């Protein structure tokens, strides 16, 4: 079976951790005998990557330049611009299935290719590409973006989502019935595994995520401040970069906790693992999170993870058993949960349950097996 995997979220030589979850999925699919080619659309004005092709960890990647206006301007049409670029770069007739990482632009391009060459296509929803009203709330063309995305979902042979929440959101726009499949994100449990570190009496917190409003890093900073004010010894590493970096650093200084917080910026993927392994608790109280791989990676390292109800992570975490859940934007609840997890006798068993959860249900091997089954059904 030959699949063209089209995704805007994929590693580049300059940023090898970008879209690493898609790369891990592709590697796992290949282990199941799926012949996968990877196409990564790149706006014509983008400065990276600096090449057209790249071989990374045994996967050949082709970067396809196409016309796209900056930002969300005319975003509802971007797949129509992408299709001819893909058609020139690949012999689209030779593929059995097109796999698109989102409705726009890749799903729209796959839909056009499918109509031209009589091939089925799969759209895989990951997060903000599904929560369109929230993602593009300030854009005048949000209605057109939603309508075009619905058309792509409606014509797809299969629609996958990384959580039930994603499938439910898509189902509000189009009838999916048996076309909808929950294919969870996964984790490499050999790479992300517990590592012992000597307890020093402090609670070492880690958060991994872009420094953008929906990740609610400000809540985590305020919760850390409360712990310190109550006399607990604690510190926090925030891994990632983004538009709010200066604002969050200023908030840490305003709260008087700058010496207890480290902003690492973007780090290599292996360093994410190392930082998780040297931490005690993972914290990411995002407002919108389909199912972030970082929760699963932290849990695989034996860390209790704290996330929010009404997000995909509440399909993974059972509150008080293998992690903690709080209501959205509830800083007091976050403080309470963190205070409970200062107790090593509580967080130790919880971390063990977290590891057990991901090894039994959320490995890349499991999710690739489920996605391969979807492909096989479509290829019959």
Q: Is residue 314 part of a domain?
A: yes
Q: Quote the pLDDT of residue 5.
A: 98
Q: Is residue 106 part of a domain?
A: yes
Q: Is residue 256 located within the same domain as residue 275?
A: yes
Q: Quote the pLDDT of residue 196.
A: 87
Query: pLDDT per residue over 20-38, tens digit each?
Result: 999 999 999 999 999 999 9
Q: What is the mean pLDDT of residues 55-76?
A: 97
Q: Is residue 357 located within the same domain as residue 322?
A: yes
Interatomic CA distance for residues 6 and 113, integer angstroms: 12
Q: Is residue 280 located within the same domain as residue 355?
A: yes
Q: Is residue 263 located within the same domain as residue 288?
A: yes
Q: What is the mean pLDDT of residues 301-327?
A: 97
Q: Quote the pLDDT of residue 127.
A: 85
**Confidence band (pLDDT; 50, 70, 90) for 7?**
very high
Q: Is residue 177 part of a domain?
A: yes
As a whole number, the mean pLDDT across the chain is 96
Q: What is the mean pLDDT of residues 304-310?
A: 97
Query: pLDDT per residue over 106-143, tens digit each?
Result: 999 999 999 999 999 999 999 889 988 888 989 999 99
Q: Quote the pLDDT of residue 215.
A: 96
Q: Is residue 272 located within the same domain as residue 351?
A: yes
Q: Is residue 208 part of a domain?
A: yes
Q: Is residue 170 located within the same domain as residue 123?
A: yes
Q: What is the mean pLDDT of residues 260-276?
A: 96
Q: Is 61 helix (H, G, I), strand (E, B) or coil?
A: strand
Q: Is residue 306 located within the same domain as residue 347?
A: yes
Contact, 217 vs 244, CB < 8 A?
yes
Q: Is residue 230 located within the same domain as residue 369?
A: no
Q: Is residue 346 located within the same domain as residue 375?
A: no
Interatomic CA distance for residues 109 and 92, integer angstroms: 11
Q: Is residue 105 located within the same domain as residue 253?
A: no
Nearest-5° Cα angle at 355, 346 to 340: 20
Q: Is residue 59 located within the same domain as residue 128?
A: yes
Given a cut of 90, whether residue 288 has pLDDT beyond it is no
Interatomic CA distance for residues 142 and 78, integer angstroms: 14
Closest CA to 163 of 315, 323, 366, 365: 315
Q: Is residue 198 part of a domain?
A: no
Nearest-5° Cα angle at 189, 187 to 190: 130
Contacts of 274 (CB under 8 A, 6+ apart): none
The CATH number assigned to the domain holding 51 equals 3.40.50.2000
Q: Quote the pLDDT of residue 134.
A: 84
Q: Quote the pLDDT of residue 327.
A: 98
SS in 3 state form for 148-189? HHHHHHHHCCEEEECCHHHHHHHHCCCCCHHHEEECCCCECC
Q: Quote the pLDDT of residue 285.
A: 98
Query: pLDDT per residue over 187-222, tens digit each?
Result: 999 999 999 888 899 999 999 999 999 999 999 999
Q: In what order do the strands lie in the sheet with 203-208?
A: 261-265, 234-239, 203-208, 281-283, 305-308, 323-326
Interatomic CA distance for residues 199 and 6, integer angstroms: 45
Q: Is residue 157 located within the same domain as residue 231?
A: no
- Residues spanned by the domain of 52: 2-186+363-379
Q: Is residue 300 part of a domain?
A: yes
Q: Is residue 191 part of a domain?
A: no
Number of domains in the chain: 2
């Amino acid at each position: 079976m030959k699949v063209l995997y089209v995704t805007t979220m994929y590693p580049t030589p300059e940023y090898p951790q970008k879209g690493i979850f898609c790369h891990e999925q592709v590697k796992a699919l290949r282990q199941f005998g799926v012949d996968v080619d990877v196409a990564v659309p790149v706006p014509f004005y983008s400065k990276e990557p600096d090449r057209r092709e790249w071989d990374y960890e045994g996967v050949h990647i082709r970067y396809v330049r196409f016309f796209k206006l900056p930002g969300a301007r005319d975003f509802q049409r971007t797949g129509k611009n992408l299709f001819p670029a893909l058609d020139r770069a690949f012999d689209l007739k030779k593929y059995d299935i097109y796999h698109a990482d989102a409705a726009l632009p890749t799903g729209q391009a796959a839909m056009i290719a499918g109509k031209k060459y009589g091939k089925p296509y799969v759209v895989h929803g990951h997060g903000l590409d599904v929560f369109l009203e929230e993602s593009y709330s300030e854009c005048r063309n949000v209605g057109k973006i939603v309508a075009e995305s619905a058309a792509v979902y409606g014509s797809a042979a299969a629609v996958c989502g990384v959580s039930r929440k994603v499938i439910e959101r898509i189902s509000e726009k189009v009838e999916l019935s048996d076309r909808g499949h929950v294919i969870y994100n996964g984790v490499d449990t050999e790479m992300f595994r517990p590592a012992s570190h000597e307890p020093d009496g402090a609670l070492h917190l880690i958060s991994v995520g872009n420094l953008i409003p929906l990740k609610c890093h400000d809540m985590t900073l305020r919760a850390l401040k409360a712990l310190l004010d109550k006399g607990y010894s604690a510190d926090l590493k925030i891994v990632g970069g983004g538009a709010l970096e200066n604002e969050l650093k200023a908030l840490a200084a305003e709260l008087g906790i700058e010496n207890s917080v480290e902003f690492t910026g973007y780090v290599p993927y292996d360093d994410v693992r190392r930082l998780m392994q040297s931490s005690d608790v993972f914290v990411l109280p995002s407002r919108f999170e389909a199912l972030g791989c970082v929760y699963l990676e932290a849990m695989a390292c034996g860390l209790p993870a704290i996330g929010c109800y009404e997000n995909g992570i509440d399909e993974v975490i059972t509150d008080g058993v293998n992690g903690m859940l709080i209501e959205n934007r509830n800083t007091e609840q976050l403080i309470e949960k963190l205070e409970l997890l200062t107790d090593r006798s509580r967080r130790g068993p919880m971390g063990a349950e977290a590891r057990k959860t991901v090894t039994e249900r959320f490995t890349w091997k499991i999710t690739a097996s489920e996605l391969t089954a979807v492909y096989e059904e479509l290829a019959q």
